[in-house]
Every structure is written in C-alpha cells, then in structure tokens.
Chains A and B, each alone.
Chain A
Amino acid sequence: MKIRAQVEKTTPVTESETKIALDIIWHVIVLNDPVNLMSYVVTVFKRVFGLNHETARKHMLEVHENGRSLLWSGPREKVEAYVHTLQKWQLTATMEQDG
C-alpha cells in the first residue's frame, strides 16, 4: 500500500516533465567547413532531408556565405537522428534548442 501511494504521488510530476520536454523545439544546424565540395553538400541535403535542388542549393549557399544554416526544426529525438546522419556524411552538424 505504501509503495502504491508513492507511485500515485509521483506520476503527475513525470507526466508534466514529459509534456514540457516534448513541447521544446530543437534545430538542426549545419556549419561551414572549407573541405566539403558545394556539390557534395547539396547532394547530402537532398538525400537526408528530401529537399529539391533549389532549396538544397539555397541552404548550401547559406552555409558557405553565413557560416551556418538551419535545416530542420522539431522534436529533439528527430533532430538527434538528423544530426547523427549528417555527421555520418562528414558534415559539421549540431543541434540547438529553440530560444
């Protein structure tokens, strides 16, 4: 009985924390490097995010000219998966929390 009472007491707190974590938006950021070819970066953006050529090209130029580009935003788990995939393609990718 005592154990059950403790579980009931803590459950609402866990739910609240989960809801807050799910509400937070994260961003996939790609940073510039002087090594990877423009054509390579465009191809990676197309393959990883399914972008069309013009959009992929726009992001590549943003990386090249501004040093970084925001590629995707959403829940943390998906952002982690995208960043990990971009790193497998040897791009300098990182995740940032919104705000």
Chain B
Amino acid sequence: MVNLSLFLDSHLIVAMLEMVKAATESLNGHLAVEPQMPEDDEDLQMAWQADLIEALHYDIDYLLMVLRDHDFGKGELIMEEGVAESVVRACSAIRLKLRESALLKLTDHQLESAEVDILSLPTDMQQCYACYLFLASLQSLILIELDPSCEEF
C-alpha cells in the first residue's frame, strides 16, 4: 500500500483537475508519444499500438479517480501499489502531452532544471506549466513511497 500525506488548497485541485481533463481529452485514442515499433509486421504494429492506447487510458482513469477522490489533498490518501504505478505512468503521459502541446517554447534544459520564471510566461502557458510541475510533484511523492531509495533525486 502507498500512503500519501498531502494537503492542498481545494481551488488548486479543481484547477489541476480541469487541466488534466483537457490534456486527457486530447489524448483520446492517441498516445502521448509516437512509439517506435517493429517495422516489418503490420499486424503486430496494430496490436502494439492498440495495447499501448488501452494501457494509457486505464492509467489515466486511475489518475482522474485519485484527483476526484473526496480525500485527495486533505491529508492521508492510501492507494494500492498497482494503482500508484498507474498514477505515476499517467502523470508522465500527461506531462509529455503538455510539453508537446503547450510548452514547446521552453527548452529541454529549462524543463529538466525547472529554471523557468513562471510569471514571465503567457497566462495559458503559466497554467500548463503549473500543471506540469504539480504532476511532477505528485509523481515524486508516490515514487518515494514506492521506492524510498528514490529520495536521493
């Protein structure tokens, strides 16, 4: 079991949920990143892609379930390890989608180092970047619970 202790402003949760839902809608039937697949087998490619899409939407459903949970951000939240894994995968997918759809003006270095002056960004980009950071924080907290040795990063 993963035990998250998280206190968040309810307005922030609502705003982040809206951003995640918007990103999720743009992923409907699509992947966050085009996968590289074996080139010589069309049937395998179709099955490969369909399985990745199904897995992604399964993971996103869990992320949305956690964000919509009445107890999310109000203190302790307990989730099964499998659910926690789904949530961290979904966080990655949404972050990749946000990067591709709204944060392309930021360089790789800016994203990796988080050296971004958020107030200097246009308003819509500020919201996307805030959501990008929020999902990274959620991921980090869950990862430390899943594997305490990750705390070194």
Contacts and interface: CB of A to CB of B under 8 A. Distances in A.
Contact of A37 (B38, B93, B108, B136): B136
A39 B108 contact: no
Given A43-B146, A90-B92, A34 B108 contact: yes
Interface residues of B, number: 33
Interface in A10-68: 33-40, 42-43, 46-47, 53
A43 B150 contact: yes
A22 to B, nearest CB: 16
Given A42-B150, A43-B143, A84 B32 contact: no
Contacts of B42: none
The secondary structure that dominates the A interface is: helix
Contacts of B52: 84, 87-88
Contacts of A43: 88, 143, 146-147, 150
Given A39-B143, A87-B35, A33 B153 contact: no
A33 B96 contact: yes
B55 interface: yes
Contacts of A93: 36
A42 B96 contact: no
Q: How large is the interface on A (under 10, 10 to 19, 20 to 34, 35 or more residues)?
A: 20 to 34
A80 B89 contact: no
B77 interface: no
Nearest to B95: A35
Interface of B: 32-33, 35-36, 38, 44, 48, 51-52, 55-56, 85, 88-89, 92-93, 95-96, 99, 108-109, 111-112, 136, 139-140, 143-144, 146-147, 149-150, 153
Given A42-B153, A43-B146, A43-B147, 19 more contacts: A33-B33, A34-B108, A34-B111, A35-B96, A35-B99, A36-B92, A36-B95, A37-B139, A39-B140, A39-B143, A42-B150, A53-B149, A80-B38, A80-B44, A84-B51, A87-B33, A90-B33, A90-B89, A90-B93
